[in-house]
Amino acid sequence: MTQGNLYAPYLMRVDEVVEETVDTRTLKLSFKDPEVAAKFDFKAGQFGEYSVFGAGECTFCIASAPTRKGYIECSFKKVGRVTAAMRELNVGDTMGFRGPYGNSFPLDKMAGKSLVFIAGGIGLAPVRCVIQNALDLRDKFKDITIIYGARSVGDLVYKRELDEWAKRPDVKLWQTVDPGGETKEWKGQIGFVPNVVEKAHPMALNAFAVVCGPPIMIKFTLPVLAKLGFKDDAIYTTLENRMKCGIGKCGRCNIGPVYVCKDGPVFNAAEIKKLPPEF
């Protein structure tokens, strides 16, 4: 009998490589073992340990939605050894995946409510998972507002989807780029995400906000949401602490009383405010 262990990944085939920006790519992956593919399930917000054999493992959220079966996607920026190796992968190549790990966005609690998605840069990846999930179950939710910004037009990810969302009558999409990051053709907003949130003025009544992006963006967005009337327990985000095992053993993602890999990565702002500022 062959023995498995916790750290043995599933093998995945790279089905599609999407060039998002100069340094960001999305890989569409499917399980090589049909049995695993049939059984695999996850919830929006969960993450995995993706690996390129010989380079190592790296932690990313699952960027696609659990409602879209048969594949998962991950979006990554080339910053280190593993992501550099991931950039070398082509369609048909094999990589590893362990997961799904961690908690998820409380979609049950969000049912019947309005949703406000706020993201900056590649922070759209974990948010996109919830957006797709919510759009696939559109009847379950009231208003859906998406506010997405990046440093420049070239830094916007998931452009094809942004176009789709823009066309949908049941989605309010605000796109923005930082001042100076616009092009001549740019028709969206120019300004920082927190300012655009203020301008968009989403209603806080019966609404949840999901905010992901650079720490600085989150820092300045939270007071705006508070001003709009969003309570801390109605604002969700993900923490992106460094991880290795993903299953509460290696100790790396521990902040105060929580292990981001086990208690997170999804937290509401009330929970985050109780944590020591070590994220």
Partner 1 sequence: MQELRELAKKLLAEGAVKVVVGYAEGRQGVRPIFAATPEDADKLIFDPRCVQNLATYLSPRRAHVAALGKLAVVVKGCDAMAAAGMIREAQRKRDDFVLIGVRCGGVLADPRASAAVTEATVAARCPGCEVREPKIVDHLLGPLPPAPPGASALDARIAELDAMTPEERFAFWTSELAKCVRCNACREICPMCFCVRCVCDKSQPQWIESSPHARGNLAWHMTRALHQAGRCVGCGECERACPVGIPLSLLNRKVARVVAERFDYVVSDDPEKPAPIGTYRLEDDQEFIR
Partner 2 sequence: MTRQMFISESALKSLAEELVKAGTRLVGPARERNGDLVYREASDLGEIELGGDPPTRSLKEFFLPPTEVLLTYRQKQGDVEVTPAPHVFAPLVVIGARPCDAAAVAAVDKVMDWDYHDELWFGRRLATTIVSVACGGGDASCFCTAVGLAPDSAKGSDVLLVPVEGGFHAEILTEKGEALVKAHAARFTEGGKAEAAKAYRDAARGKVQANLSADPAKIRAFLEAGFDHPIWKGIALRCHGCGACAFVCPTCHCFDIVDEPDSIERGTRRRNWDTCQAAKFTLHGSGHNPRNEQNCRIRQRMMHKFAIYPARFGEILCTGCGRCIRVCPGGMDLLETLDKLGRLPAGAPAEAKRGAP
* Continuous segment of H or E residues that includes residue 48: strand 47-52
Residue placing its CB nearer to partner 2 in the complex, 68 or 249:
249
Q: Find the binder of partner 2 among 4, 169, 179, 180 (CB under 8 A).
A: 4
Residue placing its CB nearer to partner 1 in the complex, 80 or 154:
80
Least Å distance between CB 214 and partner 1? 23
Least Å distance between CB 81 and partner 1? 4
**Helix, strand, coil shares, percent, the chain, to 5:** 30, 30, 40
Is residue 250 close enough to count as binding partner 2 by CB under 8 A? yes
Is 57 in contact with 96 (CB distance < 8 Å)? yes
Least Å distance between CB 239 and partner 2? 10
How far, in Å, are 7, 29, 60, 155, 265 from residue 238 at the CA level?
24, 23, 11, 21, 5
Residue placing its CB nearer to partner 2 in the complex, 138 or 249:
249
Of residues 211 through 240, those in contact with partner 2 by CB under 8 A are 215, 240
Buried b (16+ CB within 10 A) or exposed e, 119-134: bbbbbbbbbbbbbbbb
Is 225 in contact with 209 (CB distance < 8 Å)? yes
Least Å distance between CB 92 and partner 1? 25
Residue placing its CB nearer to partner 2 in the complex, 135 or 239:
239
DSSP 8-state class, residue 111:
T
Q: Coil, helix or strand for 50? A: strand
Q: Binds 254, which of partner 2, partner 1, none (CB < 5 to 8 A, cut-off by type)?
A: partner 2
Token pair in block for residue 224? 């705006």
Q: DSSP of 56-70, one letter per residue?
A: EEEEEE--S-TTSTT
Q: Find the binder of partner 1 among 53, 67, 68, 80 (CB under 8 A).
A: 80
Is residue 34 close enough to count as binding partner 2 by CB under 8 A? no
Least Å distance between CB 87 and partner 1? 12
Is 145 in contact with 200 (CB distance < 8 Å)? yes
Is residue 84 close enough to count as binding partner 1 by CB under 8 A? yes
- Report the alpha-carbon distance of residue 82 to residue 54 in Å, rounded: 9
Least Å distance between CB 121 and partner 1? 23
Of residues 52 through 81, those in contact with partner 2 by CB under 8 A are 52-57, 77, 79-80
Is residue 270 close enough to count as binding partner 1 by CB under 8 A? no
Q: Find the binder of partner 2 among 51, 64, 175, 237 (CB under 8 A).
A: 51
CA angle, residues 94, 95, 97, in degrees to nearest 5:
140
Of residues 90 through 109, those in contact with partner 2 by CB under 8 A are 90, 92-94, 96
Is residue 242 close enough to count as binding partner 1 by CB under 8 A? no
Is 119 in contact with 213 (CB distance < 8 Å)? yes
Q: Coil, helix or strand for 213? A: coil
Binding site for partner 2 (CB under 8 A): 2-9, 11, 51-57, 77, 79-80, 83, 90, 92-94, 96, 215, 240-242, 244-245, 247-252, 254-257, 262, 274-279
Binding site for partner 1 (CB under 8 A): 80-81, 84
